[in-house]
Amino acid sequence: MALNKIANFLICAIGIVVILIYGQHILVPFIFALLLWFTVRIFTAISYKIPFYGKVVPHWLKKIISSIVIFLVLMFFSQLVLSSFNNIIKSHHDYDENILKIITTLNNTFDIDFESYLEANLATIDIGTFAGELFNAISKIVSSTLMILLFVVFIFIEESQFNKKLKKVFFNLNGKYEKLLETLTKIEWSIARYLGIKTLVSLLTGFLSYLVFAFCDLNFAVFWAFLIFLLNFIPTIGSLLATIFPAVFSLLQFGDFSTALFIFFVVGFIQVIIGNFLEPKWLGNSMNISPLLSIISLIFWGAIWGTTGMIISIPVTVVVLIILSQFESYRSLAILLSEKGDIN
């Protein structure tokens, strides 16, 4: 009997992983659409606290206004990233002298012919293939964006009728409808709180990092600060990558290791203070997942869906944990995976 349960579990697990891998082109945009939908709901809820606006403007119009504001913000930052990235590519020859200076320093310090190594490897790069891959990547992003917007529209259309459908489905099942609503509310609260606080923390980290970049007169300071804001959503390794990229670019811009090290350590210090002290204090137990599970989920979702999987790893894992806690047969597993064993 026990072997049958284990076999069934393994078959289900393998089936789920296969669906996640081969269905990612549909599932990933759908999950991002849900996150956007949650974000709109958060903005709409906050708008009720605005004097006059909260009382006079009807609920449906608040949703439309919140959606438009979020869309405009996303468009603005998308344009910022694309234009900054384009400018970095165009200005790469401006740093040739500093690159030679860095290579000379590395040759003298480590007694290696770094220039010959680079020339040998750069010669093997096929520019045509690289351009084709870049075009395919951009095409995928555009198609995914359109699919996300399409999903968001249909989620909003479905939202008004969803509650009525649930009532009809669970009408004759005693307590099931209330239990389901409680579970959905718990999921919504956890994700909304996580997104809200994570966004606030990422904004603070990006702003403080911008001040460091501005102080050092780093080119494209706004772009690097926004990159830190984005990468901060990736648990654990995101903050490390966010610290390395601007430090390496400063090395290319100034040709000076001291400025690069200053940026690396100061921005790293900001990441450590906010990530290890402020963020846990603000989030509290709203995520309620163990640190070990956080790392495992980061690796798992990253292996299946790449960088996208890393970004959404924590919210998705939280949803799975909350759902598991609602079934008696899986409640013990949910307790083991939680941070302190507190499952409501």
Residue 131 exposure: Cα atoms within 13 Å on the Cβ side? 3
- The answer to whether residue 59 sits within a structural domain is no
Q: What pLDDT does residue 265 have?
A: 92
The pair of structure tokens assigned to 205 is 């980290």
Rounded Cα–Cα distance for residues 5 and 330 (Å): 13
Question: N- to C-terminal Cα distance for the chain?
Answer: 30
Residue with token string 């509650």: 163
> Residue 94 above 70 pLDDT?
no
What rounded mean pLDDT belongs to the chain? 75
Collapsed DSSP state (helix, strand, coil) of residue 290: coil
The pair of structure tokens assigned to 267 is 């921005």
Q: Which pLDDT tens digit goes with each residue over 154-178? A: 888 777 777 777 677 666 666 677 7
> Residue 276 above 50 pLDDT?
yes
Residues with Cβ < 8 Å from 146, sequence gap 6 or more?
A: none
Angle between helices 176-215 and 237-254 (to 10 degrees): 20
pLDDT higher at 307 or 271: 271
Query: Which CA distances in Å does 34 have to 31, 150, 152?
Result: 5, 11, 7
Amino acid, res. 283: L
Exposed, middle or buried by CB within 10 Å (0-12, 13-18, 19+), for 132?
A: exposed
- The answer to whether residue 238 sits within a structural domain is no
Query: Which CA distances in Å does 289 have to 9, 56, 199, 232, 238?
Result: 22, 40, 19, 18, 19
> Residue 328 above 50 pLDDT?
yes
Q: Where residue 207 falls among pLDDT bands split at 50, 70, 90?
A: very high
pLDDT > 70: percent of the chain: 74
Is the full-model pTM beyond 0.75? no
Residues 314-333 have a mean pLDDT of: 74
Contact 342, 285 (CB under 8 A): yes
pLDDT > 90: percent of the chain: 4
Rounded Cα–Cα distance for residues 8 and 16 (Å): 12
DSSP-derived letter for residue 100 is: H
Q: What pLDDT does residue 28 have?
A: 82
Reduced DSSP (H G I as helix, E B as strand, rest coil) percent helix, strand, coil of the chain, to 5: 85, 0, 15
Exposed, middle or buried by CB within 10 Å (0-12, 13-18, 19+), for 227?
A: buried
- The answer to whether residue 50 sits within a structural domain is no
- CA 85 vs. chain centroid, Å, equals 20
- The answer to whether residue 103 sits within a structural domain is yes
Closest CA to 229 of 86, 91, 80, 87: 80
Q: Which pLDDT tens digit goes with each residue over 52-81? A: 777 778 877 888 888 888 878 877 777 777
The pair of structure tokens assigned to 84 is 């900054």
Number of domains comprising the chain: 1
Angle between helices 221-231 and 59-90 (to 10 degrees): 120
> Residue 20 above 70 pLDDT?
yes
Closest CA to 41 of 204, 195, 147: 195
- The answer to whether residue 114 sits within a structural domain is yes
Q: What pLDDT does residue 333 have?
A: 73
Rounded Cα–Cα distance for residues 301 and 136 (Å): 22
Rounded Cα–Cα distance for residues 268 and 266 (Å): 5
Q: What pLDDT does residue 2 have?
A: 57
Rounded Cα–Cα distance for residues 334 and 342 (Å): 9
> Residue 339 above 70 pLDDT?
no
- The answer to whether residue 83 sits within a structural domain is no
Q: Where residue 212 falls among pLDDT bands split at 50, 70, 90?
A: very high
Residues with Cβ < 8 Å from 220, sequence gap 6 or more?
A: 84, 87, 88, 249
Which structural domain range is residue 118 located in?
A: 91-124
- The answer to whether residue 307 sits within a structural domain is no
